[in-house]
Structure 1
């Protein structure tokens, strides 16, 4: 089975249109997408799930 694509932090930030500083503030509060093993990479599925949760919370 193929490993899931891991997005690098700049790719995540570009997609969600967020600055690195804002991302780190959200991360400190536990509100940023989860990055496995503390790495600055994120699975596509995790980013999509986080985005969906943010949309649901805003509704």
Structure 2
């Protein structure tokens, strides 16, 4: 049996990353935020796996 996927709210993601909600929505508008899913009530959720993939893709060479 698969473990349930962890899904974060925008507020949880922002707190974890240390950014404001406006920064998140700016990144989202510019296509720089991790992939999100919109629930039927209009709220967004971000899968932990998508956050990890997004964060890994931000790596730069030293």
- Between 1:16-25 and 1:38-47, the stretch displaced more is 38-47
List alignment gaps of at least 5 residues for structure 1: none
Aligned length: 56
Q: CA deviation at 1:26?
A: 0.8
Residue 43 of structure 2 corresponds to residue 45 of structure 1: no
* Cα distance in 2 for residues equivalent to 1:51 and 1:34: 11
TM-score (norm 2): 0.77
CA-based RMSD of the aligned residues comes to 1.4
Q: CA deviation at 1:2?
A: 3.1
Q: CA deviation at 1:5?
A: 1.2
List alignment gaps of at least 5 residues for structure 2: none
Q: CA deviation at 1:51?
A: 1.1
Q: CA deviation at 1:45?
A: 0.7
User: Any runs of at least 4 consecutive aligned residues in structure 1 with deviations exceeding 4 A, and if so which?
Assistant: none
TM-score (norm 1): 0.80
Query: For 1:11-26, what aligned pairs fall within 5 Å after superposition?
Result: 11-26=12-27
